[in-house]
Chains A and B, each alone.
Chain A
Amino acid sequence: MTGKHGAEAEFASPTARAAAAVTGPQPEPKGSPGSRIKRVLRNVLLSLPLIALVIWTLAPFLVTLSVSFKDRAQVFADPSLIPSNPTLDAYTQVLTSDSFTTSFVNSVIVGVGTTLLTIVIGVPAAYAFARFNFRGRHLLLLFTLLPRLVPSLGLMVPIYRLAVAVGALDNRLTLIVVYTGMLLPLAVWLMVGFFQQIPREIEEAANVDGANLLKRLRYIVGPLAAPSMIMIGVLAFREAWNEFTLVLVLTNTPGKRTLPFELYLMQGIEGIANFPGEAAFTLLTVLPFVLVYTRVEKYVVAGLISGSGK
C-alpha cells in the first residue's frame, strides 16, 4: 500500500510542477513537515482527474479481460476482477472456431486491401491536387466536405440495393472498394497538406538534375511523404478493421464476414450469452491492432486530430 502511495506521489510530482508552471510561482515554504504532507496531498489531489481518466478508459478493457479468463459458470459465481482460477478455455474455444478464423482472415484481407488501394489511388490524386493547376482542382473542397455529408448510415440502404442489383454481395473486393471510396476524401485531403509542406524547390532542383516526374516521385517525394503515408495507411486499416454498418448489409454468408460482424452475431446466436467467449473474441479482435498501435500511436493521434478535428 505504501509502495503504491509512493508511486502515486512520484507520478504526481511532474503534474504539480507543470501546474506550477502554468499558474505561476506559488510560494510554498519548505522544511516544515506539515507543508511537505500538504504538498504530497496536493499532488495526489491534482492527479485524481488523471487517475479518473485512466479508469474511465481502461475499466471496460479490464473487466473484459477478467471475464475472458473465467468459464461460463464462474462469470456469475465469481464476479471479482481477478479470477480465482483462471482458464484459457474461452481463448481456445474462439481460436479453434471457424467463425473467428475465417472472419479474421477476411478482416486481414479487407484491411490490407483497403490500405493499399487507398494509398495507390489516393497518393497520386493528392499529389496532383497539391502540385498541379488543372481544371477540377476545386473538387478538393468537395472532398473535404463529403465524408461529413455522407455518413455510412446514409449509404447503407442505397449501397445494399446497388450491390444486390450488380450481384456484388458477399465479396471481399466489394468491401475493399466501398471502404476505399469512403476513406479517399479524408486520405487525399490529408496528403495534400503533406505534399504542400514539401518545398517545391527540392523538386525543381531535382528536375534541373534531370529527374523526371516518376523519378522525383520515387526518390524525393515518396521518401519525404512516407510518414504521412503510414498515417493514412493506419487510418485506412483501422476503418476497414472496425467497420460494422456496411459489412452488416454487404455480406450474409458465414465465410465472407469480417470480425465485427461475427462478434455481433456471437451475441445473438447463443441461447444463454457466452460472456467469456465474447470477451475473448473481443480482445483477440483488438489485440493485433493494439500491437501495431503501440508502434504507430504517434501517427494515429495525428490522424485522429487532423482527420476529424477540422
Chain B
Amino acid sequence: MPRGRRRRWWQRRERKSESANNFVIGQGRATPYLFSLPSIILVAAILGFPVIYGLWQSLYTRESLGAPLEYIGIQNYVDMFQSDAFWHSMNRTAIFVIGSLALGVTLGLFFAFALFRVVGKLRFLRAVTVAPYIISNVAAAVMFRILFNSQFGMINEVLGFFGLDGPSWLADPGMAMVVVIFTQVWTDLPLTILVLLGGLMTVDKSYLDASLVDGATGWTRARFITIPLLAPQILISVVWLSYSTLTGLGVVLALTGGGPLRATQTIAMEMYTVAFRNLEFNQALAIATFILVLNALLTLGYVAIGRRYEYDQ
C-alpha cells in the first residue's frame, strides 16, 4: 500500500513539475543541473569539505611537526577542556560578547530611534550610517588605535579637556577590552541600526496613537510600547552580534593580538595562537570544532526566534 501511494505521489509531482517547466520548451532535463552544479560543488568544496576534514583531523595528533599522524580519539577535546588557556579565553570571550551586545544594542536602539524621525529624508545620514560596513577590520583597528592612543588620541584629548586623566587604553590590561569592544561594535553597528530601523518602520501606528491618548510620550512610550514591539528585531540583533563577536578574529588580532597580558585573548585568538604560533594544528581544530558547535547552537536559536515571530505576523 505505501508503495502505491508513493508511486502516485511521484506521478503527481512529475506532472506538477512538467507544468511548471512547461514554458521552457527545447530545454533538456539536464539544464537545471548544469546551471546549479558548479555552485553546489564549489560551496561543498569550500564550506562543507573543510569542516568535515577538520572534524576528522581533530581526532588525530602529531608528536612533532612532520611526525606521522596518530589517532587519539577525543583526546584533543579532553585536553582542550582541561587547559587553563582555554577557560581563560572563554572568560575573555564572555566579556567580549556580553560587552559588545550591551553596547551594540543600546547604541543601535538609540541611533535607530534618532534615524526613524528623518527616515527617507536625509540620504546623507544613511550613507554615513553604513560607512563602517565598507571598512576592513584591520582598517577599523588602525583607526581606533589612533583614536584611543594614550599620547595623542582624540579620546584622551577630550577627557583631558574635561580635566580627566585618560588611561593608556591599549597598554592597560583592564582597558584594552573596552577598546576592542568599541571597535567591534563600531564595525557591526550599521547592520544593527538598519535591522532595528526596519523594525521601527513596521510598528503599527495605532499603538502609538492609542498610547498618546493615554498620555504616554517620549521615554515612557519607547520603554513600554515601542521597544516591546521591537522584540523580534532586538533578538535578531542580539544573535547576530553574538555570532559576529564569537567568530570575529580580525579586530582583536589587528588591535591587540590578544594582549596586553592576554587580557583580550578571546576563543578566536586562542584558536589562532594554538594553530599558527604553537603550530599544534590538530589541537586547534578541536577548538575550531568547539567554536562551530557553539556558533551552530546560536544560529539555531536565531532560526527558532525568526520562525516564532514569522508565525505571529
Contact = CB atoms under 8 A, between A and B. Distances in A.
B194 A304 contact: yes
Contacts of A75: 152
A228 B186 CA distance: 27
A153 B137 contact: no
B135 to A, nearest CB: 6
B9 interface: no
A309 interface: yes
Contact of A305 (B45, B141, B189, B198): B198
Interface string B257-279: 00000000000100110011000
A63 B114 contact: no
B285 A242 contact: no
Nearest to B257: A268
Contacts of A297: 126-127, 130
Interface in A146-195: 146-162, 177-178, 180-182, 184-185, 188
B236 A148 contact: no
Interface string B133-169: 1111111111111110101111001000000000000
Contact of B249 (A54, A158, A160, A245): A245
Interface stretch (B27-35, B73-81, B84-92, B94-102): B27-35
A129 B43 CA distance: 15
A232 interface: no
B36 A279 contact: no
Contacts of A50: 114-115, 118, 125
A79 B139 contact: no
A57 interface: yes
Contacts of B147: 59-60, 63
A3 interface: no
A264 B145 CA distance: 12
Contact of B32 (A132, A289, A310): A132
A56 B107 contact: yes
Contact of A57 (B46, B129, B240, B254): B129
B50 A14 contact: no
A7 to B, nearest CB: 13
A213 B31 contact: yes
Interface in A29-66: 46, 49-50, 52-54, 56-61, 63-64
A294 interface: yes
B7 interface: no
Contacts of B107: 56
Given A63-B147, A133-B17, A49 B114 contact: yes
A23 B212 contact: yes
Interface size class of A (residues with CB under 8 A): 35 or more
A188 B33 CA distance: 15
B302 A24 contact: no
Contacts of B292: 149-151, 154
Contacts of B209: 24
A49 B110 contact: yes
Nearest to A68: B146
B40 A154 contact: no
B190 interface: yes
B285 A61 contact: no
A151 B247 contact: yes
A22 B138 contact: no
Contacts of B117: 15, 18-19, 22, 46
A263 B26 contact: no
Contacts of B143: 60-61, 63-64, 282
Nearest to B272: A156
A132 B21 contact: yes
B46 A177 contact: yes
B152 A153 contact: no
A239 B111 CA distance: 26
Nearest to B135: A286
B5 interface: no
B202 interface: no
A157 B281 contact: yes
A233 to B, nearest CB: 14
Interface in A245-274: 245, 248-249, 259-261, 263-264, 267
Nearest to A134: B32
Contacts of A52: 110-111, 114
Given A50-B115, A300-B134, A136 B288 contact: no
Contact of B250 (A162, A245, A249, A304): A245
Contacts of A238: 133-134
Given A56-B107, A145-B303, A260-B138, 20 more contacts: A52-B111, A53-B115, A59-B154, A60-B144, A64-B146, A124-B38, A125-B38, A132-B21, A150-B51, A156-B272, A238-B134, A244-B138, A260-B139, A261-B138, A282-B139, A282-B142, A289-B134, A300-B130, A300-B133, A305-B191
19 contacts: A23-B217, A52-B114, A59-B154, A60-B186, A79-B153, A81-B154, A128-B32, A132-B35, A148-B299, A158-B51, A160-B275, A260-B138, A264-B253, A279-B146, A282-B139, A293-B127, A294-B127, A297-B126, A304-B190
A-B interface, 9 closest residue pairs, ranked by CB to CB distance from nearest: A181-B46, A49-B114, A242-B136, A125-B39, A158-B54, A133-B17, A128-B35, A158-B50, A132-B32
